[in-house]
């Protein structure tokens, strides 16, 4: 019996004549109206009973089913709200993708800190679950992209001493009404509710827990009803399936999830969910790939689909063994079954993944090597590989666009550009990564071991190499690969969550608990730089004092804006404010001297520093707005830092920003400056702000609180806690100084505003004039002249290389002082040549091209010594270069390692060419004398 058994004994179950039964197959408890039922009804305890025999009265499309659901709950007292983006990190800092409708309301609403947008509410929320990626196509029911239709109610205990501590009060409805609504919805669809089972399945997640019910009809899980009412507590009396103990909370939430795709599938009874939700795309992909089935084969595929629920990687240890069981039950050879269904499974996955990519790129996710960008790139590369495997030759951007059009995205041109750019990057990555796979395959073939999963994941992470490609390449070199069924889930788990950063503070948080929050007067008048306040407390530290005032104009560091500096003065003392931080609403002024508690002080802000920081912070908003205007609405802030002399803004973009685009961004930004638009602030309710402006509000991070501060700069609106100028004209001017790629998918714009922009422009001009003086030309002629000098320099370098090559050939041909020795069937040349390393390498290559092993050593001088001619043989270092022709049976890297050790150094390289050296010049000749023995030892090893 579960610790929560009593939680499932509902008055509704009793009134409707339900019985509690233990499944004879899996042991789970469930509730049913059918007293004869012995199994819970969920695969693998049962099969899909609705394929070819739909469970509802009418067939629905996705759009029709969504509307039917939302309308039903509107008619039953719920307010319909719009869905949130699939990128949950747009409004949360603890997760990446939206995986359930309740993600929209965590953690602020579910904790009671913020009221929900409606209560109760209904929504159909697009979601992406990366952990399901390996099940897609196989089970017939899993989709990585899906819509979670839901209804939610947010409740608080009615017996609280302080009910106003939470943003909602009392109970809207709880478990009985939730199950009753589910029953009524099923009945309205024409379901035979006597066949519906409600399985007990306690839910835990994110530190919360509660009883939950899985709703099963004809073998398919249609909904999960979660009753979130508990929180993790080491002293809690309920131990749940994760091994932790829990206790009840003051708030409790109805968290339901109804799979839109599964309800649609149930209404149509198609062999798999994919034919029901992607009918046009499945038909297109099958035709494009040339997949045709006879009536007999189609019947076999449909029968296999009925049993495909048993292929869930979460429930079976070996998917292929489970497929063998299905083949046995159908009376066919497992290879025949695999040949029929695997191409279809691939087609299904392509359709699903294309929809996933449409959601991601439609909501502005930019491919990269981190966070949501990494997950998008992983899905795209897997989809491209699947297309190549099954023979779909339609461009991937066309497939994604088909889904984007169906989903109603307006940025379809950008979506196609992103896909095309990523496909090209993938091709380049494969070319580089293929060589790494070959080396790895040889290594594990020599060990007679299979390439392990960790290596496969690293190959995918670093090079984008799919595991089936590794299998193909490895087989050519005699190596085996053991690919786990949940490979892509394992990869995604590396990148599926972000954790919030650590708390910022000085370690005195407990000492601040009795202090009131500091009044932040800089929001009232951002131009004001002098104020009076009372000292509430002073904390001493090794490097100064933290002074707490009842109110302040000093801006604490935050949002990428540095802290203000200035002074605090009494009649007798003035102390310097060197830093300002905020901890739990209390502002700490770090000073170089102490002040007395209760004293009145006058604060003076460094006005010039404040004005420049205000200009740069407002300019950051302007630059971000201009970048979206020029590059596209997908552009979002990835980070920002404001300084006195310059500022930087990191933006998510899928290509390098061109010089022409930089000029256009700069032009748009300065047009807004010249427009002298008013910069305003407001403090609306969070729900109202999100409803009006969406989640692009949170470019600079997710602020806490029920009310948030919005900064309006013309059409740009952002949640922001920084200080700003009153009008854009106060910025003066904006100059973009440089751009760079911070990481794949993130571009950095470094810029200056106001007086710093003038200084930056003058600095650039001074550099231009200095270059003109050096070249003895007028400034406009510098680019052409520099190009002419550069071309001459390149020509000179090529000529030097030609002469070095000729010299190397001459040395190789006339090496009279060289020692020759037979190493097997190959002649080795051992010679001392005191020259730079480039000459040694060229000479060694010349010997190798003639079929000889070259072992060359010498004292290599530095470039400065070589040019000055002042170097001697006692300066520099001992260097060795070894080149080995094909088939000589000698490893150049091992030879260099042995020789370099004799001069106190090291070295190495591939088997055919290596170099190294050490500081002991005196030992160079002895090392060369030992070279023949080293060659023989290495060859015989």
Average pLDDT over residues 154-162: 90
Q: How does strand 637-642 pair with strand 600-605?
A: unpaired
- Contact call for residues 204 and 242 (beta carbons, < 8 A): yes
pLDDT reading at 194 higher than 70: yes
Report CA-CA distances (Å) from 282 to 242, 287, 346, 396, 411: 40, 9, 11, 15, 24
Who has greater pLDDT, 754 or 253? 253
Average pLDDT over residues 728-753: 89
Task: Count CB atoms within 10 A of the CB of residue 332.
Answer: 15
pLDDT by residue (tens digit) across 809-850? 655 555 556 788 888 888 899 988 887 788 888 888 888 888
Quote the CA–CA distance of 166 and 162 in Å, as a whole number. Answer: 9
Residue 472: pLDDT band with limits 50, 70, 90 = low
The pLDDT, as a whole number, for residue 565 is 95
Quote the CA–CA distance of 349 and 181 in Å, as a whole number. Answer: 33
Give the rounded percent of residues in the chain with a pLDDT score beyond 70: 88
pLDDT reading at 510 higher than 90: no
pLDDT reading at 872 higher than 60: no
pLDDT by residue (tens digit) across 429-458? 777 666 677 777 777 777 777 777 777 777
Least confident of 299-313, 351-365, 881-895: 299-313
pLDDT by residue (tens digit) across 850-870? 888 999 998 876 544 444 444
Residue 873: pLDDT band with limits 50, 70, 90 = very low
pLDDT reading at 373 higher than 70: yes
Report CA-CA distances (Å) from 551 to 439, 546, 566, 601, 655: 65, 14, 15, 11, 46
Residue 158: pLDDT band with limits 50, 70, 90 = confident
Task: Count CB atoms within 10 A of the CB of residue 32.
Answer: 24
E strand spans, 91-202: 121-128, 145-156, 197-200
Average pLDDT over residues 512-530: 87
Backbone torsion region of residue 12, taken as left when φ is above 0, otherwise alpha when ψ lies between -120 and 50, otherwise beta: alpha
Q: What is the pTM of this model?
A: 0.72
pLDDT reading at 933 higher than 50: yes
The pLDDT, as a whole number, for residue 900 is 93
Q: In what order do the strands lie in the sheet with 913-918?
A: 819-823, 826-832, 853-860, 877-883, 913-918, 906-908
Residues 6+ apart with CB under 8 A from 418: 361, 366, 367, 634, 654
Average pLDDT taken over every residue of the chain: 85
Ordered alpha helix ranges (H), 776-869: 782-813, 837-849, 863-868
Residues 6+ apart with CB under 8 A from 917: 860, 877, 878, 879, 880, 900, 903, 905, 907
Quote the CA–CA distance of 568 and 572 in Å, as a whole number. Answer: 11
Task: Count CB atoms within 10 A of the CB of residue 394.
Answer: 14
The pLDDT, as a whole number, for residue 731 is 92
Give the rounded percent of residues in the chain with a pLDDT score beyond 90: 46
Least confident of 309-318, 470-479, 659-668: 309-318
Write out the DSSP string of 654-688: SSPPPHHHHHHHHHHHHHHHHTT-BEEEE--BHHH
Q: In what order do the strands lie in the sheet with 734-743?
A: 637-642, 647-652, 746-753, 734-743
The pLDDT, as a whole number, for residue 466 is 66
Using CB atoms within 10 A of its CB, is residue 690 exposed (0-12), middle (13-18) or buried (19+)? buried
Ordered alpha helix ranges (H), 412-542: 412-447, 453-463, 467-476, 487-495
Q: How does strand 79-80 pair with strand 29-32?
A: unpaired
pLDDT by residue (tens digit) across 245-280? 899 999 999 999 999 999 999 999 998 899 999 999
Specify the 3-state DSSP secondary structure of 133: coil
In 899-936, which positions are buried (b, 16+ CB within 10 angstroms) versus exposed (e)? bbebbebebebeebbbbbbbeebebbeebbebbbebbb
Average pLDDT over residues 481-510: 54
Q: What is the torsion angle, in degrees rounded to the nearest 10, for the CA atoms of residue 626, residue 627, residue 631 and residue 632?
A: -80
Average pLDDT over residues 142-169: 91
Residue 497: pLDDT band with limits 50, 70, 90 = very low
CA atoms within 13 A on the CB side of 692: 12
H or E segment at 580?
A: strand 574-583
pLDDT reading at 56 higher than 90: yes
The pLDDT, as a whole number, for residue 499 is 38
Contacts 24+ apart (CB under 8 A), 228-235: 228/102, 228/110, 228/203, 228/252, 228/253, 228/254, 228/255, 229/253, 231/207, 232/207, 232/208
- Contact call for residues 487 and 453 (beta carbons, < 8 A): yes
The pLDDT, as a whole number, for residue 889 is 86
Q: In degrees rounded to 5, what are phi and psi of residue 18?
A: -70, 155
SS3 content of the chain, % helix, strand, coil (to 5): 45, 25, 35
Q: Closest Cα partner for 182 from 104, 256, 110?
A: 256
CA atoms within 13 A on the CB side of 725: 28
Average pLDDT over residues 356-361: 95
Least confident of 88-97, 319-328, 546-555: 319-328
- Contact call for residues 616 and 649 (beta carbons, < 8 A): no
- Contact call for residues 490 and 467 (beta carbons, < 8 A): no
Quote the CA–CA distance of 897 and 284 in Å, as a whole number. Answer: 60
Residue 213: pLDDT band with limits 50, 70, 90 = very high
pLDDT reading at 739 higher than 50: yes
Average pLDDT over residues 883-891: 88
pLDDT by residue (tens digit) across 781-803? 888 888 887 887 877 767 666 65
The pLDDT, as a whole number, for residue 491 is 65
Task: Count CB atoms within 10 A of the CB of residue 745.
Answer: 26
DSSP code of 87? B
The pLDDT, as a whole number, for residue 432 is 67
pLDDT reading at 159 higher than 80: yes
- What does the radius of gyration of the chain's CA atoms come to, in whole angstroms? 35
pLDDT reading at 184 higher than 90: yes
pLDDT by residue (tens digit) across 556-566? 998 889 999 99
pLDDT reading at 235 higher than 80: yes
Residue 1: pLDDT band with limits 50, 70, 90 = very low
Residue 66: pLDDT band with limits 50, 70, 90 = very high
């Amino acid at each position: 019996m579960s610790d929560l058994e009593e939680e499932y004994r509902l008055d509704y179950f009793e009134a409707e004549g339900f019985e509690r039964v233990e499944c004879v197959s899996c042991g789970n408890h469930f509730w049913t109206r059918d007293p004869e039922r012995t199994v819970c009804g969920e695969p693998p305890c049962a099969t899909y009973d609705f394929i070819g025999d739909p469970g509802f009265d009418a067939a629905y499309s996705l759009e029709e089913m969504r509307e039917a659901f939302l309308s039903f709950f509107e008619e039953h007292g719920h307010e319909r709200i719009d869905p949130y983006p699939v990128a949950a990190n747009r409004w949360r800092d603890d997760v990446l993708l939206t995986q359930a409708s309740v993600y929209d309301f965590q953690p602020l609403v579910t904790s009671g800190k913020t009221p929900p947008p409606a209560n109760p509410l209904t929504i159909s929320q697009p979601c992406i679950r990366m952990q399901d990626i390996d099940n897609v196509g196989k089970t017939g029911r899993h989709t990585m992209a899906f819509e979670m239709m839901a209804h939610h109610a947010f409740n608080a205990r009615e017996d609280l001493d302080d009910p106003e501590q939470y943003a909602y009060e009392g109970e809207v409805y709880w478990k009985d009404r939730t199950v009753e609504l589910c029953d009524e919805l099923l009945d309205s669809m024409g379901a035979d509710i006597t066949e519906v089972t409600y399985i007990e399945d306690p839910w835990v997640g994110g530190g919360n827990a509660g009883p939950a019910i899985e709703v099963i009809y004809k073998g398919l899980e249609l909904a999960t009803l979660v009753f979130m009412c508990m929180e993790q507590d080491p002293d809690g009396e309920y131990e749940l399936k994760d091994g932790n103990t829990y206790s009840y909370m003051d708030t409790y939430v109805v968290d339901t999830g109804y799979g839109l795709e599964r309800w649609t599938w149930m209404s149509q009874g198609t062999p798999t969910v994919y034919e029901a939700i992607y009918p046009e795309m499945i038909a297109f992909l099958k035709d494009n790939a040339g997949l045709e089935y006879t009536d007999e084969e189609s019947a076999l595929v449909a029968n296999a689909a009925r049993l495909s629920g048993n292929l869930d990687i979460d429930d079976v240890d070996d998917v292929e063994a489970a497929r063998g069981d299905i083949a046995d039950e159908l009376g066919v050879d497992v290879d025949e079954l695999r040949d029929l269904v695997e191409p279809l499974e691939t087609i299904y996955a392509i359709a699903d993944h294309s929809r996933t990519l449409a959601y991601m790129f439609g909501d502005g996710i930019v491919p990269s090597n981190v966070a949501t960008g990494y997950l998008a790139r992983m899905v795209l590369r897997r989809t491209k590989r699947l297309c190549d495997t099954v023979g779909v030759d339609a461009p991937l951007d066309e497939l994604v666009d088909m889904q984007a059009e169906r989903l109603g995205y307006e940025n379809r041109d950008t979506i196609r550009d992103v896909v095309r750019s990523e496909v090209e990057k993938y091709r380049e990555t494969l070319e580089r990564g293929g060589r790494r796979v070959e080396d790895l395959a040889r290594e594990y073939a020599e060990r007679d071991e299979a390439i392990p999963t960790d290596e496969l994941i690293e190959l995918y992470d670093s090079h984008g190499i799919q595991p089936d490609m590794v299998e193909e390449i490895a087989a050519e070199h005699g190596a085996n690969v053991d690919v786990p069924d949940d490979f892509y889930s394992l990869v995604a788990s590396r990148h599926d969550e972000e954790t919030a950063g650590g708390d910022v503070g000085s370690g005195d948080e407990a000492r601040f608990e009795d202090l009131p929050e500091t009044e932040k007067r800089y929001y009232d008048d951002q131009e004001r730089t002098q104020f009076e306040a009372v000292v509430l407390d002073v904390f001493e530290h090794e490097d100064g004092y933290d002074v707490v005032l009842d109110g302040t104009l000093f801006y604490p560091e935050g949002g990428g804006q540095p802290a203000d500096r200035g002074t605090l003065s009494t009649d007798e003392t003035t102390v310097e404010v060197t830093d300002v931080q905020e901890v739990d609403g209390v502002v700490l002024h770090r000073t170089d001297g102490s002040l007395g508690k209760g004293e009145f002080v006058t604060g003076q802000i460094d006005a010039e520093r404040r004005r420049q920081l205000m200009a740069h912070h407002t300019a950051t908003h302007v630059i971000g707005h201009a970048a979206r205007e020029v590059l596209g609405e997908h552009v979002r802030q990835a980070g920002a830092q404001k300084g006195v002399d310059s500022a930087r803004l990191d933006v998510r973009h899928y290509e390098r920003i061109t010089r022409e685009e930089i000029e256009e961004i700069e032009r748009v930004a300065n047009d807004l400056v010249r427009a002298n638009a008013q910069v305003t602030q407001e403090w609306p309710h969070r729900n109202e702000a999100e409803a009006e402006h969406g989640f692009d509000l949170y470019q600079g991070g997710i602020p806490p609180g029920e009310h948030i501060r919005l900064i309006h700069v013309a059409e740009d609106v952002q949640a922001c806690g920084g200080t700003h100028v009153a009008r854009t004209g106060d910025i003066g001017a904006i100059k973009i100084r440089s751009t760079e790629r911070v990481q794949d998918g993130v571009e950095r714009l470094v810029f200056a505003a106001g007086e710093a922009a003038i200084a930056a422009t003058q600095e650039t001009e001074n550099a231009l004039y200095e270059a003109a003086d050096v070249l003895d030309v007028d400034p406009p002629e510098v680019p052409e002249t520099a190009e002419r000098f550069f071309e001459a320099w390149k020509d000179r370098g090529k000529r030097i290389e030609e002469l070095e090559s000729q010299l190397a050939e001459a040395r190789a041909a006339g090496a009279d002082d060289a020692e020759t020795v037979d190493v097997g069937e190959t002649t080795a040349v051992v010679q001392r040549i005191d020259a730079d390393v480039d000459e040694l390498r060229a000479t060694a290559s010349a010997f190798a091209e003639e079929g000889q092993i070259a072992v060359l050593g010498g004292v290599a001088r530095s470039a400065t010594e070589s040019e000055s001619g002042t170097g001697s043989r006692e300066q520099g270092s001992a260097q060795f270069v070894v080149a080995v022709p094909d088939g000589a049976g000698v490893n150049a890297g091992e030879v260099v390692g042995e020789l370099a050790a004799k001069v106190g150094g090291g070295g190495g390289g591939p088997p055919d060419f290596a170099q190294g050296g050490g500081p002991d010049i005196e030992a160079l000749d002895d090392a060369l004398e030992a070279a023949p023995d080293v060659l023989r030892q290495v060859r015989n090893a």
